[in-house]
Amino acid sequence: MNRFLRTLAMIFASASLLVACGGHDFSDLDSFMVEKRARPGGIIAPIPTFKAYEAFSYSATTLRSPFDRPIEVREIAQLQAISSVKPDNARAKEFLEQFTFDSLRMVGTLERGEANWTLIKDPEGGVHRVAAGNFLGRHHGKIVEMSDSYVAVVEIVSDGTEDGWVERPRTIKLTGM
């Protein structure tokens, strides 16, 4: 019986709520709509026309990077007088040559018997073992000297002329991991 009374009370409460919500007085809504319709209509601007994209052909791939330090003209003339340097494009590229020189870090050394190696960390987190004579960096950088605290590399970079190349010494100093 208790359950029946509870159900009956719920029905009456729902009915009273529905009756309270009913009503046909929409005068405030009607006045709002009349006010909005009385305003003058605006003019919609046409869709803007866009210029067609023009592809840019980058022709300075053999020139010095704008982010590298410029090489002095006197140094270039002196280096060209000493030797004519050219990168060996027929040589197979080594793994560390896909990374920029500045993104590589020296993180340690290894020694086993007479063999010495330097540990180089690439920007992806891999650690690689290199020795004198290995190549790294995008500018044909060859390792010429190694110590416990640095690696000396000689890069072959464009001097800004069509077929001119110069050697540029660089070092990677030991850093923590």
Provide mean pLDDT across the span 86-90. Answer: 87
Residue 169 pLDDT > 70: yes
* Res 46: pLDDT: 87
Residues 109-136: tens digit of each pLDDT: 999 888 899 999 999 999 999 999 999 9
Query: Is the CA virtual torsion 99, 100, 106, 111 positive or negative?
Result: positive
Per-residue pLDDT band at 153 (split at 50, 70, 90):
very high
Per-residue pLDDT band at 88 (split at 50, 70, 90):
confident
Provide mean pLDDT across the span 159-169. Answer: 80
* Res 44: pLDDT: 83
Q: Please report, for residues 8, 28, 36, 95, the alpha-carbon distance to residue 92 in angstroms, rounded to integers and kept in the order given.
A: 89, 82, 75, 10
* Res 98: pLDDT: 93
Provide mean pLDDT across the span 96-109. Answer: 93
Determine the Cα–Cα distance for residues 135 and 39; give it in Å rounded to an integer.
Answer: 75
Per-residue pLDDT band at 1 (split at 50, 70, 90):
low
Residues 10-60: tens digit of each pLDDT: 888 887 777 666 666 788 888 998 988 888 877 888 888 888 888 877 777
Question: Of all residues in the chain, what percent are helix, strand and coil, respectively (each to 5)?
Answer: 30, 25, 45
Q: Is CATH 3.30.342.10 the right assignment for the domain spanning 93-173? A: no
